[in-house]
Structure 1
Amino acid sequence: MTRTSVDVLVVGAGAAGMMTAIEAGRRGRRVLVVDHADRPGEKIRISGGGRCNFTNLGCGPANFLGENPRFATSALKRFTQHDFVKRIDRAGIAWHEKTLGQLFCDDSAKQIVRLLTDQMAEAGVELRMKTGVGRIARADDGWSVALSDGTQVAAASLVVATGGKSIPKMGATGWAYEIARQFDIRVTETRPALVPLTFEAGLLETLTPLAGVAVDAVVAPAPETKPDAKARKVRFTEAMLFTHRGLSGPAILQISSYWREGEAIVASMAPGRDVFEELKAAKAANGRQAVHTALGHIVPRRLAESLCAREGAAGNLADLSDKTLRRLDQAVNAWSVKPVGSEGYRTAEVTLGGVDTAVLDQQTMQAKALPGLFFVGEAVDVTGWLGGYNFQWAWSSGWAAGQVC
């Protein structure tokens, strides 16, 4: 058995882990980063369609969920999205704003991974891939950790940066939660987030013909399902996509973080348009026009046909009452639907919940009762919206831990 001693052992070579290592290394700390994967930063590499949505210009505490979403405030304010953009600019990585403040690389997400690995090397950080972690024990002067390569590491600080359960095919596990529980640290309920929602078989059968249809929509929780006034006000205005299993698209991924089994969501599929008045005007102008044709000028044709069939609205506009036209208006802009579940961790972009923030110091990410033990990134009960927020949390929480570990 080989024995080695370091100041900081970081478990996890993802965004948060590498950021922590860089900052600690720059302080002159001896840092070792280990990860069981073949390559570092795999989630970075595949994110944003291979271009990495690395932050969001509008990032702030309001864009995060958790039992105490304000916990993220300190780290987010001390290392902001603008601070990370400066690092990107200094590295000569070209980027662009896509929409809603989302920033992407012009070229490849691999540039972000390369930036991080280069900065770790410059800071003297040692990186070992294909290396798992076995027994972890508290030692008088820190932590004793057994690695799968036969090394026994003595570390003054141990940083857990292994993320959550999302995308298990990439090696994601609940290891961070196991370590927390081993040392009597509470873990809040975890569940898939930023994930497509699914329908029961009966509803799915009626909506399957719409698979592939996309609309710009406003999606919100059904008001009666959210006792919390703040949660009732949550709504997302982005694309919504019908799939063979249910609903997806950015608006659905966003609302999935707020949705729970047994609850309904409400979608407006022609936001800002008065469908009743437009159909009534079309009726006055050309009453012989088929109702699904008229509605097809407001929403995609396949969706229009499906809605007309569901509401029993057939024939020409001239034959339809105002009551029927109002039903179509409701069907388009107040569609209430109850998903039966989600696609799970297999496709979830992040994990909601995690290590209880009540036991962590918001300035340092260190466990209050266990000096030298840190949790950063997705492992913590801080979950961002879709659009670069979770990467910014990784940069900010990693930076915060790296100042003191």
Structure 2
Amino acid sequence: MEQFDAIVLGAGGAGLLAAATAGQAGARVLVLDHADRPGKKILISGGGRCNFTNMGVEPECFLSENPHFAKSALARYTQWDFLALVERHGIAWHEKTLGQLFCDGSARQIVAMLMAECAAGGVEVRLSTGIGEIGHGDGRFRVAGAEAPALIVATGGPSIPKMGATGVAYDIARRFGLSVVDPRPALVPLTLSEGEMPFRAISGVACPAVARAGGMAFEEAALFTHRGLSGPAILQVSSYWRPGEAVSLTLVPGAMDALREARRRMPRARLKAALAEWLPARLADALAGRIGLERELGNASDADLARAAETLEALTFHPTGTEGYAKAEVTAGGVDTAALSSRTMEARSVPGLYVVGEAVDVTGWLGGYNFQWAWASGVAAGRAVAAKRR
């Protein structure tokens, strides 16, 4: 049986950077993945340009049963550290809205960078390799004909199953007695009922909005789809939304003042005409129908306008669910952080077992935050493995 200092399960972002970190510190590391290529999720991220981190990463941008857990890893490997790595490899990048950083070229550059870092650490990467049964005894882990005192689980969550994603990390965690916070799709479109058909019927219409759910609010674009609601603002709140709860959209901030001004300027106009000044025409039409104010604006009372303003500032939906893991960008929930060291990502009850990245109950906002968690947690585990070897 081949001997290594660490075996990493998963050749995604967290696994590759964990392996590279440990390898460059002198550890002999093996990476195993059932996929035929490394970094498959990286390759499709950011429209193929990989939104690899965010200028504004803070612990408050992450969702977890323990909101403090991510602080240590994020503080010890920051967005600036990863950006320095990107620049060292000569990868051109640009900043888009809300601090999001993308490759100028292709996400393939990030994967090539991670593989180069692994090569620099002498890491062996075996693709198209099943994990099979994991043996454990005498302080050593045995996987696919290899043995090591450290096992890093970096197999992600079940989001985007067409890429080969599974919940195997949870099976491994339970096999070793670690608890799992119920996983669920996150950063995912929401579905609406037939009763919301006027809005499902305007599929493809998008507009700026403030979306609210689960006590959180995000100001970005909202998109109406043939199945319900999507767009960045909706994806953001979807991580906090729970079945049975409402989602509201502010489409016209300060709507009462805006409607009064419209009444003054265009007293002969109907509500739809005023709404069309602020919103896409098809959305204005659907909203006018929902509000039901038929008279000319000049004949509308303040009470009429107040009712209309209430809808424009808090257009409320009761989603029937989400579009599931197939359309989810990430998975919320995962291996319970109570079972792990926040500094090293090692299981408290199983020395040598580490869990990193999306497999852990830490979920970031849309916009590069989940990649930063992958990098930070992977580095934390890689450093810990190397430190134990010394």
Judge same fold: TM > 0.5, yes or no: yes
Report the AA paired with residue 192 of structure 2: F
Match of 2:277 among 292, 297, 302: 297
Retained in 1: the 8 A contact 2:101–2:368?
Answer: yes
Matches within 5 A, 1:56-135: 56-135=54-133
Tell me, yes or no, if structure 1 residue 202 matches structure 2 residue 195. yes
Report the AA paired with residue 268 of structure 1: T
SS of corresponding position for 1:386 = coil
Q: Measure the CA separation in 1 of the matches of 2:155 and 2:193.
A: 34
Give the Å deviation of 1:139: 2.0
Q: Measure the CA separation in 2 of the matches of 1:208 and 1:379.
A: 34
Q: Name the TM-score, length of structure 1 as normaliser.
A: 0.93
Query: Which piece of structure 1 moves more, 323-332 or 129-138?
Result: 323-332
> Which residue of structure 2 lines up, in the alignment, with residue 324 of structure 1?
304
Report the AA paired with residue 185 of structure 1: L
Retained in 2: the 8 A contact 1:216–1:270?
Answer: no
Give the Å deviation of 1:154: 1.1
> Which residue of structure 2 lines up, in the alignment, with residue 228 of structure 1?
none
**Where in structure 1 are there 5+ consecutive unaligned residues?**
222-230
Retained in 2: the 8 A contact 1:47–1:109?
Answer: yes
Query: Which piece of structure 1 moves more, 56-65 or 206-215?
Result: 206-215
Q: Measure the CA separation in 1 of the matches of 2:201 and 2:239.
A: 27
Match of 1:242 among 224, 245, 249: 224
Match of 2:251 among 269, 272, 293: 269
Report the AA paired with residue 66 of structure 2: N
Match of 1:374 among 337, 354, 372: 354
Q: Measure the CA separation in 2 of the matches of 1:217 and 1:246.
A: 15
Q: Measure the CA separation in 2 of the matches of 1:282 and 1:393.
A: 47
Q: Measure the CA separation in 1 of the matches of 2:147 and 2:289.
A: 68
Aligned length, in residue pairs: 385
Deviation readout 1:107-166 (Å, 9 max, x if unpaired) = 111100000011111110011110010111112141111x2xxxx111111111000010
> Which residue of structure 2 lines up, in the alignment, with residue 215 of structure 1?
207
Give the Å deviation of 1:315: 4.6
Q: Measure the CA separation in 1 of the matches of 2:139 and 2:212.
A: 51
Retained in 2: the 8 A contact 1:165–1:173?
Answer: yes
Tell me, yes or no, if structure 1 residue 344 matches structure 2 residue 306. no
> Which residue of structure 2 lines up, in the alignment, with residue 400 of structure 1?
380
Q: Measure the CA separation in 1 of the matches of 2:265 and 2:11.
A: 64
Give the Å deviation of 1:320: 2.7
> Which residue of structure 2 lines up, in the alignment, with residue 227 of structure 1?
none
Match of 2:239 among 252, 257, 266: 257
Q: Measure the CA separation in 2 of the matches of 1:138 and 1:355.
A: 19
Report the AA paired with residue 229 of structure 2: L
**Where in structure 2 are there 5+ consecutive unaligned residues?**
386-390
